[in-house]
């Protein structure tokens, strides 16, 4: 996940009014949100339903008080017959919290069409798991990493060892605080987000097919990072998935070998080029993971070789480990990320 500052700085400095932005691997919609702040049209695409639901929430127009009202109405009106079973669920959430989550899950699976419900779904996904602060709670779960869901066996051992029991947090207060923070001021939303595979050209086409993109700001999957879906198993459960970790990778990139991975990237860069304005710029934030001893810049060079894109600059972007402090507090082994780069390209 890259910080908002990254796409915002680029677009603020360089984009002209009326230009359009594409992110073919939008993740949590950071690029789309930056475009929205600046009043630019954007399209985000991702094959992970969690990414799409969160991006969608960043693109709706909703008022904080209406989102909270919707959350309260669901809790009053919806009944649930059963909660997910097993020790993990007993330790992950206090029973009253889990009941509220199940009510929201049921209601939002039945109907998530209104702006308020889309916003509420994004807020709940964001608050589903994370660290427990000393004072007022910001997350529904017992102590957890925020960016990824822990594997049940490891989490159980951790909670039991540290005698950490789930707390009966005020779920509406958590929703209210987040709604007030995220929907405090309104920028008109002119963005679009699609669930799909960016290797398919059709997926990358906006509804208005006359639109040509002037900016592509994106961060593709890092080679060897195969857990984008498994790491989000709790959020996928909230979106209708099973209450256990699933190791499937539908519509995700091929990580078997560098050759196939590069081929996937090339396909996307070619599709993207065909939807861009002649003067378009593309900025790719890319890095590697220590487990794969391969230079990520070699992969990017190779992926752009047989495409209409020409690299014009490569800048170091710091290390992905800079943002990993909170996740590390839950891990036995400290995570180390390789250095990342921003690769700037233009159409030839």
Question: How many amino acids of this chain bind ligand SAM (CB under 6 A)?
Answer: 21
Per-residue binding letters, 43-62, with ligand SAM (x by CB under 6 A): --xxxx--x-----------
What DSSP character marks residue 90? H
In whole angstroms, the minimum distance from the beta carbon of 80 to ligand SAM comes to 29
- How far apart are alpha carbons 47 and 220 in whole angstroms? 12
Binding ligand SAM (rule: CB under 6 A), the pick from 2, 158, 237, 238 is 2
Residue span binding ligand SAM (CB under 6 A) among the ranges 67-75, 109-117, 119-127, 251-259? 251-259
In whole angstroms, the minimum distance from the beta carbon of 320 to ligand SAM comes to 9
Binding ligand SAM (rule: CB under 6 A), the pick from 197, 231, 340, 342 is 197
- Residue 269: its H or E element: helix 258-274
Q: What angle do CA 272, 273, 279 make, to 5 degrees?
A: 125
92 versus 119: smaller Cβ distance to ligand SAM: 119
Among residues 336, 339, 271, the alpha carbon closest in space to that of 303 is found at 271
Residue span binding ligand SAM (CB under 6 A) among the ranges 99-107, 146-154, 192-200, 322-330? 192-200
219 binds ligand SAM (CB under 6 A): yes
27 binds ligand SAM (CB under 6 A): yes
64 binds ligand SAM (CB under 6 A): no
Residue span binding ligand SAM (CB under 6 A) among the ranges 40-48, 87-95, 118-126, 298-306? 40-48
Query: Exposed, middle or buried: residue 279 (CB in 10 Å: 0-12, 13-18, 19+)?
Result: exposed
In whole angstroms, the minimum distance from the beta carbon of 68 to ligand SAM comes to 26
For every residue of 11-77, DSSP letters joined together read HHHHPPTT-EEEETT-TTTHHHHHHHHTT-EEEEEES-HHHHHHHHHHH----HHHHHHHHHHHHHH
- How far apart are alpha carbons 175 and 324 in whole angstroms? 25
148 binds ligand SAM (CB under 6 A): no
203: left (phi over 0), alpha (psi -120 to 50) or beta: alpha
Chain positions contacting ligand SAM, by CB under 6 A: 1-2, 25, 27-28, 30, 45-48, 51, 197-199, 219-221, 228, 251-253
């Amino acid at each position: 996940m890259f910080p908002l500052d990254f796409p915002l700085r680029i677009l603020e400095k360089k984009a002209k009014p009326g230009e359009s932005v594409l992110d073919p691997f939008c993740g949590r919609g950071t690029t789309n949100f930056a475009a929205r702040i600046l009043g630019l049209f954007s399209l985000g695409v991702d094959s992970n339903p969690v990414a799409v639901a969160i991006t969608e929430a960043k693109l709706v127009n909703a008022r904080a008080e209406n989102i909270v009202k919707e959350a309260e109405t669901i809790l009053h009106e919806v009944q649930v017959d059963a909660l997910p079973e097993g020790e993990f669920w007993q330790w992950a959430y206090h029973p009253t919290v889990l009941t509220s989550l199940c009510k929201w899950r049921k209601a939002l699976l039945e109907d998530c069409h209104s702006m308020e419900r889309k916003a509420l779904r994004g807020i709940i996904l964001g608050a589903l798991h994370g660290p427990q602060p000393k004072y007022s709670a910001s997350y529904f779960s017992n102590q957890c990493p925020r960016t990824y869901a822990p594997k049940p066996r490891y989490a159980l051992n951790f909670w039991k060892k540290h005698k950490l029991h789930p707390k009966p947090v005020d779920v509406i207060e958590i929703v209210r605080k987040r709604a007030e923070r995220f929907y405090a001021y309104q920028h008109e939303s002119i963005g679009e987000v699609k669930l799909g595979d960016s290797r398919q050209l059709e997926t990358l086409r906006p509804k208005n097919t006359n639109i040509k993109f002037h900016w592509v700001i994106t961060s593709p999957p890092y080679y060897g990072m195969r857990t984008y879906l498994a790491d989000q198993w709790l959020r996928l459960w909230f979106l209708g998935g099973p209450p256990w970790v699933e190791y499937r990778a539908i519509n995700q990139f091929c990580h078997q070998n560098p050759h196939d991975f590069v081929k996937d990237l090339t396909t996307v860069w070619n599709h993207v080029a065909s939807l861009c304005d002649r003067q378009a710029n593309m900025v790719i934030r890319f890095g590697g993971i220590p487990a794969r001893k391969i230079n990520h810049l070699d992969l990017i060079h190779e992926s752009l070789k047989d495409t209409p894109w020409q690299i014009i600059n490569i800048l170091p972007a710091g290390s992905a480990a800079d943002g990993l402090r909170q996740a590390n507090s839950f891990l036995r082994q400290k995570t180390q990320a390789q250095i990342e780069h921003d690769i700037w390209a233009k159409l030839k």
